Chain A
Amino acid sequence: NAGVTQTPKFQVLKTGQSMTLQCAQDMNHEYMSWYRQDPGMGLRLIHYSVGAGITDQGEVPNGYNVSRSTTEDFPLRLLSAAPSQTSVYFCASRETGLGNTIYFGEGSWLTVV
């Protein structure tokens, strides 16, 4: 079972570069989201989507763009990488509806130098 797949697992970027973190899920979940996790802090929501063509901002959206052209894919774009974006990024999906489990990808470790 693939579940939620995200790539790349590790990436080093130079300040100002752009890149896209890929995320795909094969569970036909309508809801997908991106989080970042920093030491001593909980996961913080960057952007989320409740279905193809629908996206919305989370808690920390600045510097990131998303799109949702299909149910399966939800890429996260860093427009102009900054050292403050050094973090671990997790993509997640869940069925809509109260109390449903959220499933995470394995994470992407991003370092911006």
Chain B
Amino acid sequence: RKEVEQDPGPFNVPEGATVAFNCTYSNSASQSFFWYRQDCRKEPKLLMSVYSSGNEDGRFTAQLNRASQYISLLIRDSKLSDSATYLCVVSGSNDYKLSFGAGTTVTVRA
């Protein structure tokens, strides 16, 4: 079983729509959780960290469900510029070793 699993998508949504997707992780001892964004042929960049209480950054909301071992990302009022691949990143019990999901591709259309 992969340590981190994501629905690869793609999620094709119109501008202004809301899109949400999850990521499941296998290590119950994981301590740190992140969503990274990766544009085509570019390096991943931090979108947001995910905190136990859930957190919001503008149009983006992240949630953590430790009991079911998943994190989620919700994008409201989608913009064309939100088109990207979103990577779920989870630490192991050793915070030095991060596990990456294969990514969820979101395409926002005009």
Contacts and interface: CB of A to CB of B under 8 A. Distances in A.
Nearest to B44: A104
Interface string B70-96: 000000000000000001010100011
Interface in A20-51: 31, 35, 40-45, 48, 50
Contact-residue size bin, chain B (C-beta under 8 Å from the other chain): 20 to 34
Contact of B99 (A42, A48, A104, A105): A42
Interface residues of A, number: 22
Interface of B: 2, 4, 8, 31-32, 34, 41-46, 49, 87, 89, 91, 95-103
B57 to A, nearest CB: 13
Given A48-B96, A48-B97, A41 B102 contact: yes
B2 to A, nearest CB: 8
Main secondary structure of the interface of B (DSSP, over half): loop
B66 to A, nearest CB: 15
A102 B90 CA distance: 12
Interface of A: 31, 35, 40-45, 48, 50, 58, 90, 96-99, 101-102, 104-107
Contacts of A90: 43-44
Main secondary structure of the interface of A (DSSP, over half): loop
B31 A102 contact: no
Contacts of A45: 97-98
